Structure 1
């Protein structure tokens, strides 16, 4: 009896799968690829995961008592470990706390200090936690970083963006925009336009996440937008943008901060 090529492949795959524990995941993936006539298997597309949190850690904001410091730090570390993320973006963070999170997880980090009333703002309650600002942490080494203030901001709190380039040649960015509304001409609206330009200029696979204090997207053309519109706490104003493929969003309820957490998963290019 002469078997067709398709039948022969199916027979071989069936024998391999019957072997059970003898078959390694890599061999199984290769067999599945052969049966599907060159369709790439899931394992051919590695994933990249990012955790976004606004941690309300300055010690000044009305939400700070709810952090029950240092329980907020334990919550961030637990979510990093439970979600097996590659990157973390944090808003309303303190530099000393970010250093502690990095030490506990083995992540690399960069911190962007936000100027407040013309000077860096020291976090309080307790003292000695460094300055207030935003952070990006990554599992892979950080090869370069950039941060800069926006051209305008409302009130006494400067607003900045921060981007890092990892050893995998992926850029991870974050920002925390002003709270004066998203109407045309507002500081928030101007910052949004400037953030669009920053992300459009990266020239590499890029993923952004942050508390943008608006519902309309700041994503450049060609980037997708995900938001926490389904969150229980202050929904719709934390966003993620990117030009990596197959984005998927998970919203996780938080205990010790006034925003829910975002977990974004994407597929990486070859």
Structure 2
């Protein structure tokens, strides 16, 4: 599967999850024309289809000031997160309506709780797992906008794929697409555009599990932010998916965009610090890691320093929020 990239108004070849493992790369001529796989009515909404007609598309909305893709006038370089402290918040909301944790804890109350967490903690990046599309667009994105009025604020959503028909999005009980998402903020003075990368893992677990996906947004010259929710059916398979994202997809994305900005991956990896395999088996050389003591983790390139962390109590999901500060 090939992701599709939108970068400052120019369509470029993407890097989705059909990018091969290093030992088995296809001929670049096999890539589809990216212009044929971008749909949607800009500037309000963009869609990114890693494999047109065969895998669910990602969506990108916002930012709050200036349309994505608009050519920008040349500007002087500005500070990046490497010199400007910021924070990330990882949330698994258990909001499909199908999992046992929904009836046990949630019952429709978690989105308001998550919005409050965003308002209180003011993270610049929020990574979201087990969410329905409208949870992101109408429930949580407005909290980010309120926190950072006048700055560029965006949302991106990637549905997981239905095992019965991988071209379709897996659905929440309410019928909405179900998946993963990223909320982000870029200071207005540092804005250089957005690029989206997305795909379905070629490695998948067995059983009733939905087909797992990954999503990255490059806030050009500022940061690369990625999220995923790895399979629960096999820790060995979760490790393969994790390595695929960190060792193949993220480096390919950084090479494609050409920015030396820091990169981070946050999500429910279904790998533990003390497991076999352990999450450390997925952390490449030259990266830093902070885990919540369970299955939620943040992995970053080592050009940033990870500061204080915090487990943020969440009553209406089975995962507390995982808040990590990043500093010079």
User: Could you say which TM-score interval applies, normalised by the shorter chain?
Assistant: 0.7 to 0.9
Map of 1:1-270 to 2, 5 A cutoff? 45-100=83-138, 101-106=140-145, 107-117=153-163, 118=165, 119-124=168-173, 127=174, 130-140=176-186, 143-154=194-205, 155-156=207-208, 157-182=210-235, 186-197=236-247, 198-203=249-254, 204-215=261-272, 216-217=278-279, 218-229=282-293, 236-243=294-301, 244-248=303-307, 249-267=309-327
Alpha-carbon shift at residue 201 of structure 1 (Å): 3.7
**CA–CA distance in structure 2, aligned partners of residues 260 and 207 of structure 1:** 20
Q: CA deviation at 1:45?
A: 4.0
Mark the structure with the bigger radius of gyration. Answer: 1
Q: Does the residue aligned with 2:171 lie in a helix, a strand or coil?
A: coil
Runs of 4+ in 1 over 4 A off after TM superposition: none
Deviations 1:52-101 (A, max 9, x none): 01101111100112443442111111111111110100001111111011
Change (3 A) 1:120 1:265: same
Contact 1:159–1:176 (CA under 8 A) maintained in structure 2: yes
How far the C-alpha of 1:209 sits from its partner, in A, is 0.6
State the distance in 2 between where 1:46 and 1:169 align: 10
Which runs of 5 or more residues in structure 1 are unaligned?
A: 1-43, 230-235
Which structure shows the higher helix fraction?
Answer: 1
Q: Please say which of residues 256-265 and 165-174 is displaced more in the overlay.
A: 165-174
In the TM superposition, what is the alpha-carbon distance from 1:246 to its structure 2 partner?
1.9
Note the alpha carbon deviations across 1:212-264, whole angstroms, 9 max, x for none. Answer: 001222222111011111xxxxxx21111002422032112211100111011
Work out whether residues 56 and 64 of structure 1, in 8 Å CA contact, stay in contact via their aligned partners in 2: yes
> For residues 150 and 68 of structure 1, what CA distance do their matches in structure 2 show?
29
Deviation at 1:147, TM superposition (A): 0.7
Asked if the contact 2:197–2:253 (Cα under 8 Å) also holds between the matched residues in 1, the reply is no
Residue correspondences, number: 213
RMSD: 2.0
| CA distance in structure 2 between the aligned counterparts of 1:75 and 1:161, rounded to whole angstroms | 25
Give the C-alpha shift of residue 200 in structure 1. 3.6
Structure 1 residue 196, shift from structure 2 partner: 2.1
Structure 2: gaps spanning 5 or more residues: 1-81, 146-152, 255-260, 273-277
TM-score, length of structure 2 as denominator length: 0.61
